[in-house]
Amino acid sequence: MQFWLMKSEPDDVSIDDLAARPGQTVPWYGVRNYQARNFMRDAMQIGDRVLFYHSGCEVPGIAGLAEVASGPYPDASQFDPASPYFDAKARQEEPRWLLVDVKLVKKTRFMPLTEMRGYAGLEEMRVLQRGNRLSITPVTPFEWQFITEHL
């Protein structure tokens, strides 16, 4: 099993939105970074655990726990000209962008980014590195255990 941190803007899909969805599952659409796409395509497995992270908001941080609920498949938003995630170079027969489904495990207390920065031992966590803008990053087993024990 692997561990991941996946960022979602709460105005788009929040942890509460995920909890209210049928099956408490959401397709993780809109990823438009090749490294993040490659994590979904090449590394993620069904059952991998996810720190569901609110980003692009006043107070970013971890809002809950989830798990990868599907293998990768084409992100339909790349083909929709009305979508902000439309990609004119993507073709149905050769999709550029993939997604996985993510299922809620549980909503937790909110752990703000500022709190995460205050813990010794998390200094190397990718989300805490300067300039890191990836929407999906791997989390080490130590980081996963530490964070889940403090949620």
Which tens digits make up the pLDDT trace of 97-106?
999 999 999 9
> Where exactly are the structural domains of the chain?
3-150
Query: Residue 117 corresponds to which amino acid?
Result: R
Q: Residues 130-143: what's their mean pLDDT? A: 94
- In angstroms, rounded to a whole number, what is the distance separating the alpha carbons of residues 105 and 60? 20
Contact 78, 29 (CB under 8 A): no
* pLDDT at 132 exceeding the cut of 90: no
CATH fold of 3-150: ph1033 like fold (3.10.590)
For the chain, the average pLDDT equals: 97
Structure tokens at 87: 């990609």
Which tens digits make up the pLDDT trace of 31-77?
999 999 999 999 999 999 999 999 999 999 999 999 999 999 999 99
